[in-house]
């Protein structure tokens, strides 16, 4: 029985989300649209199967077809990234990263990763994550210009002798210095892991340097720029096996049985489909256009007077620094842009003067817009809209006191709902977006 007939409430919500995606511009850099083929794979009867273990070594019977799917996903991952080993079972990026710790470290070992407020990731040792409580985290930072402080990485590594060094981020807009950080790891004896969740598709497309020659382990999600389902992979490189011949087996044991039970077979099938799509020449064109679009959007925002961390971008992402108008203004611009159908996320900036709840930045990127066929002229139009929204809310500032802050946010939200200029912009954005189809909707 069709969903509309069996569960009309869920169907109504799904229809509303379909409408939201079709009528708005998705600029959150960690989101993208999957193809209809990936959607088809996600909805298959593979979801019915339980498959603890690995191909040829399952704890349940009836897995011959699941084995074929997983082997195909593994083989495509190895070919695309040029690695000898791929684990495609992690449920998402965070469990994949946790498996790296389990495979390479003991509780209490020193580890290093980019500081979260400086653009790093929660699982690279931030204090509220298990990775920052079970291991002794020694974070490194970015310089005042927004680039990774490699000199600090050298100093901290020589002092603390970490067991594991991470390179990767959620809000870093420049090319990662893989070779330089690998040299640090090699001298100090650390495992070097690169988390390329954000840039995996750009690496495949040749739009960003590959970490594979430099890293021992590479982790990535399979969505974001890779345009697959919400899953993850762990890749072990030739350099990793040269450092530890048992590293691939350690990684596999860390994923299962160390951290997970049965894999999500329907997701594995969809990962295989996405990797197959990434092998096509059109994917390289897509990845390169993502970067072209990001540079065009950055240029447009600069033209309208916005301040960008590092002054631009090398990848799919940019980070707006809104402190010229006061600290903690990210929430205002995010919600006002939501009002007109432009989706971004508030984000901390380096040396954040406010807090993670009320940060001073906005993170935005171009993967999803590029998937819909938008190009440089559309980026210019989007920059114009962002500037127009910024003008509408220019008067609002974040108070320091909690009660005053609550009252200000309440007044702000009422204001953007009633603002006629924002309502008119919403109509413009809707009309614009409907010209660019969303796959699968």
Per the prediction, the chain carries an average pLDDT of 97
- Within 10 A of 103 (CB to CB), how many other CB atoms are there? 25
Q: Which fold has domain 40-278?
A: 3.40.640
192, β-bridge pairs: 165
Contacts 24+ apart (CB under 8 A), 281-287: 283/201, 283/204, 283/205, 284/204, 284/205, 284/206, 285/205, 286/201, 286/205, 286/227, 286/370, 286/371, 287/201, 287/202, 287/204, 287/205, 287/206, 287/207, 287/225
The confidence band for 2, taking pLDDT boundaries of 50, 70 and 90, is confident
Q: Is 403's pLDDT higher than 90?
A: no
Give the per-residue pLDDT at 93: 97
91 is catalytic: no
pTM for the complete prediction? 0.96
214 is catalytic: no
Q: Is 294's pLDDT higher than 70?
A: yes
Which range (124-138, 288-302, 367-381, 401-415) has the least confidence? 401-415
The confidence band for 400, taking pLDDT boundaries of 50, 70 and 90, is confident
50 is catalytic: yes
Q: What percent of the chain clears pLDDT 70, i.e. is strictly above it?
A: 100
Tell me the CATH number for domain 290-433: 3.90.1150.10
Give the per-residue pLDDT at 140: 98
Q: Is 407's pLDDT higher than 70?
A: yes
Task: Kindly calculate the radius of gyration of the chain based on its CA atoms and give it in whole angstroms.
Answer: 22
**Residue tagged active-site, from 224, 227, 243, 346:** 224
Known binding residue 164? Answer is no
**Residue tagged active-site, from 11, 22, 50, 405:** 50
101 is catalytic: no
Known binding residue 201? Answer is no
Q: Do domains 40-278 and 290-433 have the same CATH topology?
A: no
Known binding residue 116? Answer is yes
pLDDT digits (tens, 9 = 90+) for 148-158: 999 999 999 99
Give the per-residue pLDDT at 441: 81
Task: Kindly list the domain boundaries of the chain, sorted by start residue.
Answer: 40-278, 290-433
Known binding residue 282? Answer is no
pLDDT digits (tens, 9 = 90+) for 22-56: 999 999 999 999 999 999 999 999 999 999 999 99
Known binding residue 264? Answer is no
Q: What angle do helix axes 376-392 and 281-303 make, rounded to 10 degrees?
A: 40
351 is catalytic: no
Known binding residue 122? Answer is yes
> Are 130 and 369 a contacting pair, CB within 8 Å?
no
Q: Is 310's pLDDT higher than 80?
A: yes
Give the per-residue pLDDT at 81: 98
230 is catalytic: yes
pLDDT digits (tens, 9 = 90+) for 172-212: 999 999 999 999 999 999 999 999 999 999 999 999 999 99
**Residue tagged active-site, from 71, 143, 230, 426:** 230
User: What would the mean pLDDT of 59-85 be, rounded to a whole number?
Assistant: 98
pLDDT digits (tens, 9 = 90+) for 255-293: 999 999 999 999 999 999 999 999 999 999 999 999 999
Give the per-residue pLDDT at 1: 58
Known binding residue 235? Answer is no
Give the per-residue pLDDT at 440: 83
């Amino acid at each position: 029985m069709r969903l509309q007939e069996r569960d009309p409430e869920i169907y109504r919500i799904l229809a509303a989300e379909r409408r939201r995606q079709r009528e708005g511009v998705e600029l959150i850099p960690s989101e993208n649209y999957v193809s209809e083929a990936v959607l088809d794979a996600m909805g298959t009867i593979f979801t019915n199967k339980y498959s603890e273990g690995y191909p040829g070594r399952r704890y349940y019977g009836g897995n011959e077809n699941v084995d074929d799917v997983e082997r195909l996903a593994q083989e495509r991952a190895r070919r695309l990234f040029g690695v000898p080993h791929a684990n495609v079972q992690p449920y998402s990026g965070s469990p994949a990263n946790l498996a790296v710790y389990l495979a390479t470290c003991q509780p209490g070992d020193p580890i290093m990763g980019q500081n979260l407020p400086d653009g790093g990731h929660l699982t690279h040792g931030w204090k509220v994550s298990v990775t920052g409580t079970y291991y002794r985290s020694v974070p490194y930072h970015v310089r005042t210009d927004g680039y990774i402080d490699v000199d600090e990485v050298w100093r901290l590594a020589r002092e603390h002798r970490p067991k594991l060094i991470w390179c990767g981020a959620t809000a870093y807009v420049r090319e990662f210095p893989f070779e330089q950080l690998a040299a640090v790891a090699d001298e100090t004896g650390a495992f070097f892991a690169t988390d390329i969740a954000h840039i995996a598709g750009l690496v495949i497309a040749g739009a960003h340097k590959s970490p594979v020659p430099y890293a021992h382990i590479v982790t990535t999600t399979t969505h974001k720029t890779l345009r697959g389902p919400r899953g993850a992979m762990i890749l072990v490189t030739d350099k990793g096996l040269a450092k530890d011949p048992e590293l691939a087996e350690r990684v596999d044991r860390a994923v299962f049985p160390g951290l997970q039970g049965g894999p999500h077979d329907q997701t594995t099938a969809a990962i295989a489909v996405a990797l197959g799509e990434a092998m096509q020449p059109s994917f390289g064109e897509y990845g390169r256009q993502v970067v072209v679009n990001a540079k065009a959007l950055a240029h447009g925002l600069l033209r309208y007077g916005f301040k960008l961390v590092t002054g631009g971008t090398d990848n799919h992402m940019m980070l707006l620094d809104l402190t010229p108008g006061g600290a903690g203004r990210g929430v205002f611009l995010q919600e006002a842009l939501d009002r007109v159908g432009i989706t971004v996320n508030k984000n901390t900036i380096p040396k954040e003067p406010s807090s993670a709840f009320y940060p001073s930045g906005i993170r935005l990127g171009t993967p999803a817009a590029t998937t819909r066929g938008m190009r440089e002229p559309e980026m210019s139009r989007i920059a114009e809209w962002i500037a127009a929204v910024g003008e509408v809310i220019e008067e609002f500032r974040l108070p320091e006191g909690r009660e005053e802050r609550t009252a200000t946010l309440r007044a702000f939200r009422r204001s953007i709902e009633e603002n006629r200029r924002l309502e008119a912009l919403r109509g413009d954005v809707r009309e614009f977006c409907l010209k660019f189809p969303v796959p699968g909707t």
